[in-house]
A and B are shown apart, each in its own frame.
Chain A
Amino acid sequence: MSELLAKDKEVVVPGQVLAKGMDYIPGQGTYRLKDDVLANRLGMVSVEGKVLKTTPLAGRYIPRKDDVIIGRVDDILMSGWRLEINSPYSAVLPLKDASFDFIAKGADLTKYFKLDDFVVIKITQVTSQNLVDVTAKGQGLRKLRGGRVIKVNPQKVPRIIGKKGSMVSMLKKATDCKVIVGQNGFVWIEGAPEMEVIIVRALRKIEEESHQSGLTDRLKGFLEKETGKKIEDAPENNDQKVN
């Protein structure tokens, strides 16, 4: 006899029993104690068939393999760079993954990345000890020049990107800015100064209202009002949660 105690999209606290019985399977953010499935973080429950998950409402970024993120150079090591990635763990960019060029032993590493540079990177590996390895070789991976970087809540990143990138492409189209959203909540923006300000305000709006429905429509209205021009062929308006 299995019984589901928590509803879908309900906010739960650590230790709360989500379901009784072996028919339900603990997913991310949950664990099994005897026959029960319990939450281990403050967050929202999602029931996907038999699998129960909790997604945190806020918090730092937890590195996952193959995520494209933005890192800030924190330290230059003997054999690479240490990057701050808005996470409890820092990432290491080894020499061999930093550039397509051959980097000779003992070369001046600041020629490639200096302290405080921002780099778009991809996570190649996360070990069981939470050591994060990243690469800067690949499509779209590069050092960021110009522009500015702001921090957003990493849990809201899927909403900022939107379905198949619909939200972020609407932002780009409305403001003619270049935008790169890292999965870790670092967002790089470059464009006309007044447009950058509009993007920052739009991002804050998304963060605040991400739980309400009809967000895309409201944001479209907001952008049209702020930029004073119509946004054509609006992206699809069904506001399903992309997580």
Chain B
Amino acid sequence: MNQEILEHIKNSLRKGVRIDGRKPDEIRPVTIQTGFLTTAEGSARVKFGDAEVLAGVKMALEKPYPDTPEDGVLMVNSELLPLSNPEFESGPPSIESIETARVIDRGIRESKTIDTKSLCVEKGEKVWSVAIDIVPINYEGNLIDMGGLAAIAALKTATFPFVKEDGTIDYHQRTDKKLDLKKMPIPITVCKIGEIFIVDPTDEEEKAVDARLTVTSVDQKTLCALQKGGDHPLSESDINTMVELALKKAGELRKILEGVN
């Protein structure tokens, strides 16, 4: 990217103005739409301004892993589609897409949002697997936060498919049974540019970021996952400010999420 434009972004941020006129701690207008992918058990389309991300939940009956015979399988995958950004290429998954998937996975897994024991059908033989796929449709930065929000919204609306008597699944029929979500993990990425902390960076701002910290929280006080990125170090006071800001912003998103069915 053009170095002078990067410098320009940093300079205006120093004066407290973001490139699109937002306040440093302001998230773009959020909209969540659920249940429109008919082939998925649960789905959500999250928009932050012009940025758009899809998440889909697919459920299947599988043999459990040998070391966890009683646990269901949870998988999170993300793919950076070339249609969403000219810089994305098809081919093997990039570092960014792996990181996105792992950070969102960590948030859901470590908060014990889904009780994997409850997904067990027959010990050692048959368990439910829940696969979450996250794809950006229009990439404008902040994929982890948007993907994390979309994943939870999709899980919230997901319903189990119908199991026939011979044990196979009929995906054309749905049951009313929903996944039992214990928590609402919401990731918020706080970015540090110079001495300023911002949330919800656009893709241009992401390129100017010195350091970032993704804080996943399940309520106003409880953290369940962290991920640090960027080349600059963070001091203890930096981390305290960032976590505080992330908790505050996660609260705002949680309110929006509560209205989603």
Residues in A with CB closer than 8 Å to B183 are none
Residues in B with CB closer than 8 Å to A72 are 2
Instruction: List the A residue with the shortest CB-CB distance to B15.
Output: A193
Residues in A with CB closer than 8 Å to B8 are 146-148, 190
Of A2-10, A158-166, A173-181, A194-202, the segment with at least 4 beta carbons within 8 Å of chain B is A194-202
Number of interface residues of A (CB under 8 A): 17
CB distance from B135 to the nearest CB of A (A): 24
Question: Is A149 a contact partner of B15 (Cβ separation < 8 A)?
Answer: no
* B167 close to A (CB within 8 Å): no
Q: How far is the CA of A46 from the CA of B12 in the complex (A)?
A: 43
Question: Is A146 a contact partner of B4 (Cβ separation < 8 A)?
Answer: yes
Q: How far is the CA of A146 from the CA of B6 in the complex (A)?
A: 9
Question: Is B20 a contact partner of A196 (Cβ separation < 8 A)?
Answer: no
* B1 close to A (CB within 8 Å): yes
Residues in A with CB closer than 8 Å to B1 are 116
Instruction: List the A residue with the shortest CB-CB distance to B17.
Output: A193
Contact code string B217-248 (vs A, CB < 8 Å = 1, else 0): 00000000000000000000000000000000
* A24 close to B (CB within 8 Å): no
Question: Is B12 a contact partner of A193 (Cβ separation < 8 A)?
Answer: yes
Q: How far is the CA of A196 from the CA of B15 in the complex (A)?
A: 13
Question: Is A194 a contact partner of B5 (Cβ separation < 8 A)?
Answer: no
Question: Is A197 a contact partner of B4 (Cβ separation < 8 A)?
Answer: no
Number of interface residues of B (CB under 8 A): 15
Question: Is A148 a contact partner of B21 (Cβ separation < 8 A)?
Answer: no
Residues in A with CB closer than 8 Å to B17 are 193-194, 197
Known A-B contacts A147-B8, A148-B8, A193-B12; the reply to A116 vs B2 at CB < 8 A is: yes
Residues in A with CB closer than 8 Å to B19 are 148, 197
Contact code string B117-151 (vs A, CB < 8 Å = 1, else 0): 00000000000000000000000000000000000
Q: How far is the CA of A208 from the CA of B7 in the complex (A)?
A: 30
Contact code string B1-43 (vs A, CB < 8 Å = 1, else 0): 1111101110110010101110000000000000000000000
Question: Is B2 a contact partner of A117 (Cβ separation < 8 A)?
Answer: yes
Residues in A with CB closer than 8 Å to B11 are 193
Q: How far is the CA of A148 from the CA of B2 in the complex (A)?
A: 10
Residues in B with CB closer than 8 Å to A192 are 15
Question: Is A149 a contact partner of B5 (Cβ separation < 8 A)?
Answer: yes
Question: Is B2 a contact partner of A197 (Cβ separation < 8 A)?
Answer: no
CB distance from B14 to the nearest CB of A (A): 9
Contact code string A113-131 (vs B, CB < 8 Å = 1, else 0): 0001110000000000000
* A34 close to B (CB within 8 Å): no
Give the residue among A72, A117, A146, A193 with the most B Cβ atoms within 10 A.
A193
Residues in B with CB closer than 8 Å to A229 are none
Which B residues fall within an 8 A CB radius of A? 1-5, 7-9, 11-12, 15, 17, 19-21
A-B contact pairs, 18 of them (CB 8 A): A72-B2, A116-B2, A116-B3, A117-B2, A118-B2, A145-B4, A146-B4, A147-B4, A147-B8, A148-B19, A149-B5, A193-B11, A193-B17, A194-B17, A197-B20, A197-B21, A200-B20, A200-B21
| Given A147-B5, A148-B8, A200-B20; 16 other pairs, CB 8 A cutoff | A116-B1, A116-B2, A117-B2, A146-B7, A146-B8, A147-B4, A147-B8, A148-B9, A190-B8, A193-B11, A193-B12, A194-B21, A197-B17, A197-B19, A197-B20, A201-B21
